[in-house]
């Protein structure tokens, strides 16, 4: 965390680069990012599709599969660099100290295994619970996440549950060992609005009860505003801006953050058309030189297309990677 924030950091990412080596090209999905997660905080990762949010999460979990490679950087969890651990050592962390809720339960739940057994797996693997002890804990977890009639549902298969219930099973599984960090990757994407609200309320209540840090990945700034204390704005594999959620959403410093906010409908405000950000997210194979956002930025100047901006500390925990602010800092913009 920054010097002005007394909260202890539980996870620090430094210069993380995760690339995918395809035939004849290299996809730079995450290209040199730094971020910190405070103990007990809810941190939001926001950005358009292709910004590198999910790859960042999978890198933390060390679940980058071939042809992906974590090329460089450090992921320091409680003083230990996860990238230096063996796979066996990482298995002891994954699902125990750090857990992840994936965005598509249908993909990540085993269709031929009863949901109770799936929740019990981390308990038997990491806690060594007996079958009867694990079942008791599973019933408690199913009750905590709002599964009705757990004694009946414990023997159900995923296809017998609704989308919202399947998502709750994933949450129960992720929370089984009371992890220090819970990563939620678009946990409400496939759910209707009412169920989305229930899942978000559940995550907030569970974070408060368990005291876990939460990394909430989403493209929805409304969810960020409702759930998160701080937010990291990503674009094309880079961090554009970091700050307290309320301050960042009311006074964005990076043109990309401002453009994202301008593209949202506002309650009580009539518009003929919503603002759109021109163009599209650049290719991660051949990103533009300089600032990744400069081809779409209404405020871009010549330097923006030439030099990659460094991250400027603005105080109060605000960080921004923009030449405009670098120039303002030395009084030439």
What are the φ/ψ torsions at residue 11 (nearest 5 degrees)?
Answer: -140, 130
Q: Do 57 and 2 sit in the same domain of this protein?
A: yes
Claim to verify: residue 1 and residue 145 sit in the same structural domain: no
91 and 194 assigned to the same domain: yes
Question: Within this chain, do residues 164 and 152 fall inside the same structural domain, yes or no?
Answer: yes
Total structural domains within the chain: 2
Specify if 125 maps to a domain: yes
Domain end position, chosen among 176, 196, 214: 176
Q: Where residue 65 sits, what CATH number does that domain have?
A: 3.40.50.300
Q: Does any domain span residue 250?
A: yes
Task: Dump pLDDT digits (tens) for 222-251.
Answer: 889 999 999 999 999 999 999 999 999 999
Q: Mean pLDDT, the chain, as a whole number?
A: 90
Beta bridge partners of 234: 239
CA 329 to chain centre: 30
Smallest Cα–Cα separation from 68: which of 21, 17, 31? 21
On whether residue 328 sits in a domain, the answer given is no
In a domain, 323, yes or no: no
Q: Which of 234, 265, 296 is the last residue in one of the domains? A: 265
Residue range 37-63: average pLDDT?
95
Q: Domain ends where: 224, 248, 265? A: 265
How far is the CA of 166 from the CAs of 154, 156, 174, 178, in angstroms? 12, 11, 13, 19
The pLDDT score that the predictor gives to residue 331 is: 43
Task: Return the closest-CA partner of residue 320 out of 233, 240, 229, 238.
Answer: 240
Name the residue range of residue 18's domain. 1-97+178-265
- pTM beyond 0.75, yes or no: yes
Question: Over the stretch 81-133, which tens digit does the pLDDT of each residue have?
Answer: 999 999 999 999 999 999 999 887 878 899 999 999 999 999 999 999 999 99
Q: What is the pLDDT of residues 139-154, one digit of tens each?
A: 999 998 989 999 999 9
In this prediction, residue 172 has a pLDDT band, given cuts at 50, 70 and 90, of very high
Average pLDDT over every residue of 307-313 = 92
Candidates 208, 211, 212; CA nearest to 182 is 212
200 plus 258 within the same structural domain: yes
Q: Is residue 307 part of a domain?
A: no
Tell how strand 42-46 and strand 213-218 pair up: parallel
Q: Identify whether residues 184 and 91 lie together within a single domain.
A: yes
């Amino acid at each position: 965390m920054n010097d002005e924030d007394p909260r202890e950091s539980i996870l620090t990412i430094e210069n993380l680069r995760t690339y995918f080596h395809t035939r004849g090209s290299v996809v730079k999905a995450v290209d040199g990012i730094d971020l910190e997660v405070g103990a007990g905080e809810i941190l939001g990762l926001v950005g358009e599709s292709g910004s590198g949010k999910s790859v960042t999460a999978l890198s933390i979990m060390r679940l980058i599969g071939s042809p992906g490679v974590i090329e460089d950087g450090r992921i320091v969890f409680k003083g230990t660099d996860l990238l230096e651990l063996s796979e066996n050592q990482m298995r002891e962390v994954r699902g125990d100290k750090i857990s992840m809720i994936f965005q598509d339960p249908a993909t990540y739940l085993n269709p031929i295994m009863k949901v109770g057994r799936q929740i019990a797996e981390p308990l038997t693997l990491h806690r060594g619970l007996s079958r009867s002890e694990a079942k008791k804990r599973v019933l408690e977890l199913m009750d905590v996440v709002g599964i009705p009639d757990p004694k009946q549902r414990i023997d159900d298969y995923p296809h017998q549950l609704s989308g919202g219930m399947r998502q709750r099973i994933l949450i129960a599984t992720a929370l089984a060992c009371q992890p220090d960090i819970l990563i939620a990757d678009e946990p409400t994407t496939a759910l209707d609005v009412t169920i989305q609200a229930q899942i978000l309320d559940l995550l907030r209540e569970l974070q408060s009860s368990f005291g876990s840090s939460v990394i909430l990945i989403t493209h929805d700034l409304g969810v960020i505003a409702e759930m998160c204390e701080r937010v990291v704005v990503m674009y094309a594999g880079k961090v554009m801006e970091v700050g307290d959620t309320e301050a960042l959403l009311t006074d964005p410093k990076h043109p990309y953050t401002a453009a994202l906010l301008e593209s949202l409908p506002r309650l009580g405000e009539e518009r003929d058309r919503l603002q759109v950000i021109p163009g599209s997210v650049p290719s991660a194979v051949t990103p533009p030189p300089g600032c990744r956002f400069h081809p779409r930025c209404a405020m871009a100047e010549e330097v923006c297309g030439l030099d990659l901006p460094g991250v400027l500390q603005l105080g109060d925990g605000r960080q921004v990677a923009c030449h405009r602010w670098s120039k303002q800092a030395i009084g030439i913009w």
